[in-house]
């Protein structure tokens, strides 16, 4: 035994005490079975390592601040699971071990699914999972499993389908009762303590008294849920009628007063906005563009936008975007930055560029991990209350600012009582009310933000979910790479490059990605979003490394996720697929993995002249065609991929006699909204690797020694030009739908 270290047995755990510090004492979990010695030792070691870090998230504390209870989740890397590591519940992570125990002991399984920044997950934890009576009943009668939906989206999707089948809706926390064979026989979302405890008792009674009925119900529910999420068979490549139908459906759902689609709660839906921008370009529809512009304006002005710190909250609880659910996620904000950037290309509105910078600067300042990559989300709660960090009173503003700046902020953002900042009236109207020039008002507002941020930083901030999710970081690579290229910002390009390096050097192990930087099985969207990000990074930097890496990951994606009938499965071959192996096509917080993967194939086909990739994209679009035809507005990202396929994508090459001499031509390309294109910039004698990977650069020269642009479609090029105005005209030529 190492000198100065002693092993101390404290039932039910074994702890290490070092350097004279007393070992922590932990009470047995109420009603739980004893753990085996190996598990006890692992938990003891994890608990000892946890000491001195963040205070344990539990109300069950000893006088010295140490937790009374600890369970298996202390061994997990997910911040959400670790939030529950000191509940009195004998939690398991999703594992074969948990279901084996349920089968051996004849117990049902209680599955609870949530995520670290979920407000109602916190409420249910405090009311039920921290309650010793509830915990004791759970521990004596169930095997309890806790799942982070962001680490195991397959588990979440599978059982959310069950809950939606049962209730017609869904949400988090998700609460599901399972048999030991993993089939669900009941499910819901949040339940208050009394309702939850009653449900636990009723379900256990039914499980014991009517096992055949429960088994039959579980089998029927599973069958219905699998059917509800199955991709209907299709075998025909859809035509442009699908895109017109999608537009009509979205037009019918549009909120003409407030922007956005449907009624409250209202989500930003970046995939929808991206599709409408594409549709406008192909059809010239002023209505499609107006829907995008109005939505982006109202979102930027509303309380869903954090006017002090930057970025957007998860969704609005009202139709006018005024009152948000205060969580902020990397995935939402990366996509919104890309949409606002595309909207600037389409409209040249500088206020949209300001939003892009606002979002990306927030991500870079508050969400960036020290060694590269981005954290997942910030919590909805702060200081024990949802949104407390974000609201302002007139007194708060006056305490932070001098009189002139405070008057401007109070008037423009409508600060009355406890207020969520939002644009209360147009800038010119507020300036008139204040008796100042609008330019001066804008200056005062811009000058006020750093001081307001500093004042807000003295409040209790929301917790940050520090998971580095691979797919979400792929979205961030795309957003920063595109913005860096279009806005000419090397800092954004550096962020994209560092994040790509993190993914490839730390998250990729033995050629395969992991779900997070901490590990976990990857999913389709991890590969698809990273490949998309690397393609964007290649077209931002023209560093062949990123194209090579994109191709390498694309090859793994096709090997591990491809369905022989077309499209791609959510889970890799040979990995667990709860209830059934799904083939996702409907967009959620992220565009569907199949949509992103299909567009990647089309981009690679154009860049590399590899017809096999286009054939694979066609097979995916045919296999997923039934949903596209029946409910195209439910799959806008897939509709966008189809729009790419039905276009004559522009193959753009700029040949420079010397590096950097094609700046005006490149700026013209990047300032133009041409979503369906590939781009390569080369010197007059491209390297052998580039010529092999990107055959479209072959045989192209700098005419008369000047930087020259080539715009081609299906390998047929228009007249090469060194004139930026001529290039702009060539880029503006559109293949109509």
For residues 377-400, average pLDDT? 94
pTM score, two decimals? 0.95
Q: Domains of the chain (ranges plus CATH)? A: 5-229 (3.40.30.10), 390-458 (1.10.10.10), 650-731 (3.40.30)
Which of 15-29, 347-361, 525-539, 676-690 has the weakest average pLDDT? 15-29
Q: What tens digit of pLDDT does each residue of 184-225 get?
A: 999 999 999 999 999 999 999 999 999 999 999 999 999 999
Summarised one tens digit per residue, pLDDT across range 528-552 is: 999 999 999 999 999 999 999 999 9
- ω into 173 cis (within 30 of 0): yes
**Cα angle 75, 78, 81; round to 5:** 70
* Cα–Cα distance measured from residue 303 to residue 326, given in angstroms and rounded to the nearest whole number: 9
Residues 6+ away with beta carbon under 8 Å from 400: 406, 451, 452, 454, 455
User: Is residue 14 predicted with pLDDT exceeding 80?
Assistant: no
Q: How many CA atoms lie within 13 A of 170 on its CB side?
A: 16
Task: Give long-range contacts, CB 8 A cutoff, 24+ apart: 384-391.
Answer: 386/119, 386/325, 386/326, 387/324, 387/326, 387/420, 388/459, 388/460, 389/326, 389/456, 389/459, 389/460, 389/461, 389/462, 390/306, 390/308, 390/326, 390/420, 390/421, 390/456, 391/418, 391/419, 391/420
Task: Estimate the crossing angle of helix 427-434 against helix 403-412, to 10 degrees.
Answer: 130
Please answer whether residues 621 and 260 qualify as being in contact, where contact means their C-beta atoms are separated by less than 8 angstroms.
no
**Has residue 673 got a pLDDT over 60?**
yes
Q: Say what the pLDDT of residue 690 is.
A: 84
pLDDT at 52: 64
Between CA 337 and CA 557 the distance in angstroms is 26
Mean pLDDT for the chain overall: 94
Confidence of residue 684 (pLDDT cuts 50, 70, 90): confident
Which H, E and C letters describe 254-292, residue by residue?
A: ECCCCCCECCCCECCCHHHHHHHHHHHHHHCCHHHHHHH
Q: Kindly state the average pLDDT of the residues 667-681.
A: 98
Q: Which whole-number Å values give the CA distances from 539 to 244, 367, 542, in the listed order?
A: 30, 25, 5
For residue 24, what pLDDT band results from cuts at 50, 70 and 90?
low
pLDDT at res. 691? 83
Which spans in 107-210 are helix H? 119-124, 132-141, 153-167, 193-209
Instruction: Please give the pLDDT value at position 256.
Output: 97
In 559-707, DSSP assigns E strands to 650-656, 677-683
Tokens of 469: 């999710």
Identify which of 311, 364, 363, 317 has the alpha carbon closest to the alpha carbon of residue 336: 311
* Strand boundaries in 506-635, DSSP class E: none
Residue 7: pLDDT above 50? no
Please count the helices (runs of H) and the strands (runs of E) in the chain. 28, 20
User: DSSP string covering 347-370, please?
Assistant: H--HHHHHHHHHHHHHHHHHSB-T
**Residue among 110, 61, 103 at smallest CA distance from 86:** 61
Which of these, 157, 111, 155, 112, lies nearest to 589 by C-alpha position?
157
Please determine, for residue 1, whether its predicted confidence score (pLDDT) is greater than 90.
no
Instruction: Tell me the two tokens of residue 142.
Output: 């169930």
């Amino acid at each position: 035994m190492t000198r100065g270290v002693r092993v101390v047995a404290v039932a039910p755990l074994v702890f290490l005490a070092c350097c004279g510090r007393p070992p922590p004492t932990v009470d047995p979990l109420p009603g739980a079975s004893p753990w085996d010695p190996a598990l006890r030792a692992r938990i003891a070691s994890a608990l000892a390592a946890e000491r001195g870090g963040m205070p344990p998230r539990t109300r069950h504390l000893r006088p010295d601040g140490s937790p009374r209870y600890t369970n298996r989740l202390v061994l997990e890397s997910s911040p959400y699971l670790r939030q529950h590591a000191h509940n009195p519940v004998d939690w398991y992570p999703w594992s074969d071990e948990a279901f084996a125990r349920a089968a051996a002991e004849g117990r049902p399984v209680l599955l609870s699914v949530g995520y670290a920044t979920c407000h109602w997950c916190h409420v249910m934890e405090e009311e039920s999972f921290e309650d010793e009576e509830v915990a004791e009943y759970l521990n004596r009668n169930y095997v309890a499993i806790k799942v982070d939906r962001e680490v195991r989206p397959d588990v979440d999707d599978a059982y959310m389908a069950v809950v939606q089948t049962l209730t017609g809706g869904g949400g988090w926390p998700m609460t599901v009762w399972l048999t030991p064979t993993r089939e669900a026989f009941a499910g819901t979302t949040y339940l208050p303590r009394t309702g939850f405890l009653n449900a636990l008792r009723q379900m256990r009674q039914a499980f014991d008294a009517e096992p055949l009925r429960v088994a039959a119900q579980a089998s029927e529910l599973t069958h219905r849920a699998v059917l509800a999420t199955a991709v209907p068979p299709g075998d025909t490549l859809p035509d442009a009628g699908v895109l017109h139908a999608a537009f009509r459906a979205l037009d019918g759902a549009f909120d003409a007063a407030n922007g956005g689609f449907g009624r409250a709660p209202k989500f930003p839906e970046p995939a929808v906005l991206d599709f409408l921008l594409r549709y406008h370009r192909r059809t010239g529809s002023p209505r499609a563009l107006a829907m995008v512009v109005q939505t982006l304006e109202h979102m930027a002005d509303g309380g869903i936008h954090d006017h002090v710190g930057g970025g957007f909250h998860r969704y609005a609880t009202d139709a006018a975007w005024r009152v948000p659910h205060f969580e902020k996620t990397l995935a939402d904000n990366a996509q919104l930055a890309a949409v606002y950037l595309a909207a600037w290309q389409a409209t040249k509105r500088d206020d949209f560029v300001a939003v892009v910078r606002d979002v990306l600067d927030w991500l870079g300042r508050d969400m960036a991990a020290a060694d590269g990559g981005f954290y997942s989300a910030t919590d909805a709660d702060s200081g024990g209350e949802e949104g407390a960090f974000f609201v302002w009173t007139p007194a708060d503003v006056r305490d932070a600012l001098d009189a002139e700046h405070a008057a401007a902020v109070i008037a423009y953002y409508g600060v009355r009582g406890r207020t969520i900042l939002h644009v209360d009236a147009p800038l010119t109207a507020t300036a008139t009310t204040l008796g100042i020039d609008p330019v001066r008002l804008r200056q005062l507002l811009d000058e006020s933000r750093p001081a307001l941020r500093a004042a807000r930083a003295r409040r209790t901030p929301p917790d940050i979910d520090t998971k580095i999710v691979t797919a979400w970081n792929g979205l961030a690579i795309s957003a920063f790479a595109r913005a860096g290229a279009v806005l000419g910002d090397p800092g954004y390009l550096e962020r994209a490059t560092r994040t790509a390096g993190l993914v490839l050097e730390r998250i990729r192990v033995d050629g395969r990605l992991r779900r997070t930087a901490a590990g976990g099985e990857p999913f389709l969207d991890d590969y698809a979003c990273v490949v998309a990000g690397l393609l964007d990074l290649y077209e931002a930097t023209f560093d062949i490394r990123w194209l090579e890496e994109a191709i390498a990951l694309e090859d793994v994606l096709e090997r591990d996720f491809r369905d022989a009938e077309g499209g791609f499965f959510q889970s890799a071959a040979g990995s667990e697929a709860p209830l059934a192996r799904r083939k996702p096509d409907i967009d959620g917080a992220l565009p569907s993995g199949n949509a992103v993967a299909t567009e990647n194939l089309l981009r690679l086909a154009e860049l590399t002249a590899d017809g096999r990739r286009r054939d694979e994209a066609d097979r995916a679009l045919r296999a997923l065609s039934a949903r596209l035809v029946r409910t195209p507005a439910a799959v806008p990202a897939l509709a966008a991929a189809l729009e790419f396929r039905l276009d004559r994508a522009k193959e753009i090459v700029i040949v420079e006699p010397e590096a950097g001499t094609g700046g005006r031509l490149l700026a013209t390309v990047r300032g133009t909204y041409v979503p369906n294109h590939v781009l390569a910039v080369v010197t007059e004698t491209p390297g052998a690797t580039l010529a092999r990977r990107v055959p479209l650069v072959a045989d192209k020269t700098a005419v008369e020694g000047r930087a020259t642009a080539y715009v081609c479609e299906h390998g047929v090029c228009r007249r090469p030009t060194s004139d930026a105005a001529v290039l702009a005209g060539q880029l503006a030529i559109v293949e109509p739908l």
